[in-house]
Amino acid sequence: MLEKTLDAMKDDLTAAIQQVVRIPSVGGEPAEGAPYGEGPRKCLDWTLAFAEKMGFRTKNVDNAAGWAEMGEGDEMVAVLGHLDVVPEGKGWTVDPWGGELKDDMIWGRGVLDNKGPVMIGLFAAKAIFDSGIRLKRRVRIIFGTNEEQGSKCMKRYVELGEELPAAGFTPDAEYPIIHAEKGIITYTVSTPFAPSGDMKITSLEGGVAANVVMAEVRAEIEDPRAECRQRVLDAASSWQGPKGSSLSADEDGNRVVLVMKGHPAHGSTPEKGVNALSCLADFMAGLKFKGEQGEFFSTFSRMVGFETDGKSLGVAMSDEVSGPLTACVGVVKAENGRVSFTINMRYPVTAGGEDVTGPIEEIFRKNGLEVVEKRVADPLYMPPESRLIQCLQKVYKEETGEDATLLAIGGGTYAKTMPNVVAFGPVFPGQDYTIHEEDERWSVEDIMKNARIMAKALVELAEVAG
C-alpha cells in the first residue's frame, strides 16, 4: 500500500522539486528577518507554505531553519536536510534555476544537494500517513538554510531548545550508511616574521581555504645586491621538489618573485596533494635567511614538512574504524611583521579532542607559535549494533538487494549538527551527479527509489503502533 501511494505521488513530487529548484537560495548578506540572505529565507518561506498545504504542522525557527511534522507520539524521528545551495557557477548547458525536466532527469542547482531530498522527505512522510500506517513516533522533516556556509542554522535550532530526534538521518551524502565521521580541529597560528639583513621577504601569501591542500604560494624576496638576487634565481632553476610541484622565479627590479605550485586535494585526504608551502619551506632552507623569517621556515619544516599524518606535531594516531589522523596546511599569509598559517586536522572517531589539542598546543608553545583561532567539530560515531544502524541496513538491503556496508569518512556531514543522526543517501555507489558543479541533475528513477527507501526507513525508525 505504501509503495502504491508513493508511485501515485510521482508527478506531484517531480513538480515540487522543480518548483523549489527555481528559487535561487545561495547564501548572502544578512538582512532583516534573513540571517543568511534573502534567497535562503525565500526558499524557507516557500517550503513551509508548501508543507502546510500538504497537511503538515510547521514552524519557522528564527528564520534560520524550519520543520514540518505529522503524526502523534511523545518522541519523533527526523529527516534532516537543507535548502541553501552553492553558487551556480559557469558552464551550464541548461538554466541552473530552471528546474528543467529533460532526459527523465531534473536539472538545476540544488536538485540533489539538497532540495530534492527535502521534498522527498515531505512526500515520504505524507505517503506513510495517507496509507493509514499508524506510528509510535511523530515524523519531522527539519530543513536548514546555512549548511553550505557553516551549518549555523542547525546550531541555532539546537540553541533555541527545539526538540531533538530520537533517531534520524540526513540524505545529504551517499549510500549505504556513513556511521563514522572524523573529528575536525582547525588551528590558525601566528609567529613573528620581521626581516633581518639585506635579503628579506616582503610578501608571502598562498592557499584558498583551510580545508584544501595549498596548491600555490607566492613570495617576493627583496635584495639590493644583484649577485644575491642571481643566487636566488639560480637556486630556483636547480631546485627539484616532489612530483607534481614546480617553481618559477622572475626578477623585477630589486625583487625576485617566486611562485611555488603544488597540487590541491581535499583537507580530509591531504596525502593526495602536494603542499606548496612545504615545497617553499624546503627551497627557502637553502637560501639561509636570517632572523625571524629564516626561523619560520625552519620551524615549519621541522613541525610539518611534507608530513600529512601529524607525526612531528605529536598527534599521529589511528583507529580501525576511521583510519589515521590527517593534517592539512591550507592558507598562509604574512602581514604586519607576522606570518600565520592554518592546520586542519581530522582525527579518528575513537579519540578525544584533548588527545590532539594537548600535544599539538604544547608543540606550538615550544616553537613560539601563538594560537590565533581554534575551530572544533567533534567526531560522529554510531555503533554498528545500534538500532538506528540496524534499521537503515535492513531497509537498504531490502530495497536494493545489496549489503549496507558502513562507511567512515574524514569529512563532515549535516549529521554532526545534532545527536542520533547519521548520513544515509541519496547518491548510490558509483553514481556521479556533478554535485557543486555545472549541470547538477537527478534522475526521476533515482528520486522515486530514494522515496521508497526514505519512507520505509521512517516507518522502521518510528515503529508501527500496535
In sequence order, what are the beta bridge partners of 184?
346, 377
pLDDT above 90: residue 436: no
Amino acid identity at 406: L
Kindly give the pairing relationship between strand 406-409 and strand 177-181: parallel
Domain extents in the chain: 2-180+380-462, 184-377
d(CA 450, CA 443): 11
Mean of the pLDDT values across residues 34-61?
98
pLDDT above 80: residue 226: yes
Could you say which of 84, 148, 172, 440 is catalytic? 84
d(CA 459, CA 466): 13
Kindly give the pairing relationship between strand 76-82 and strand 167-170: parallel
pTM: 0.85
d(CA 113, CA 425): 11
Nearest to 114 by CA among 138, 147, 66: 147
Distance of CA 108 to the CA centre of its chain: 20
Mean of the pLDDT values across residues 15-39?
97
Instruction: Kindly list the distances between the CA atom of residue 267 and the CA atoms of 68, 331, 339, in Å, as whole numbers in the listed order.
Output: 35, 12, 21
Judge contact between 167 and 388, C-beta under 8 A: yes
Q: Which helix (H) or strand (E) holds 41?
A: helix 38-54
State which fold the 184-377 domain adopts.
Alpha-Beta Plaits (3.30.70)
- Give the pLDDT confidence of 121-147 residue by residue, as tens digits: 999 999 999 999 999 999 999 999 999
d(CA 375, CA 118): 29
Q: Which residues contact 226 (CB under 8 A, 6 or more apart)?
A: none
pLDDT for the residue 249: 95
Could you say which of 130, 147, 174, 446 is catalytic? 147
Examine the residue annotation and report whether 370 is marked as an active-site residue of this protein. Answer: no
pLDDT for the residue 90: 86
Mean of the pLDDT values across residues 352-369?
95
Examine the residue annotation and report whether 147 is marked as an active-site residue of this protein. Answer: yes
Mean pLDDT (the chain) is 95
pLDDT above 70: residue 466: no
> What confidence category does residue 412 fall into, taking pLDDT thresholds of 50, 70 and 90?
confident
Mean of the pLDDT values across residues 73-97?
95
- Give the pLDDT confidence of 141-173 residue by residue, as tens digits: 999 999 998 899 999 999 999 999 999 999 999
d(CA 282, CA 178): 38
d(CA 437, CA 56): 33
pLDDT above 70: residue 215: yes
Architecture category of domain 2-180+380-462 in CATH: 3-Layer(aba) Sandwich (3.40)
pLDDT above 90: residue 290: no
pLDDT for the residue 211: 85
Instruction: Kindly list the distances between the CA atom of residue 189 and the CA atoms of 47, 60, 243, 428, in Å, as whole numbers in the listed order.
Output: 42, 39, 28, 40
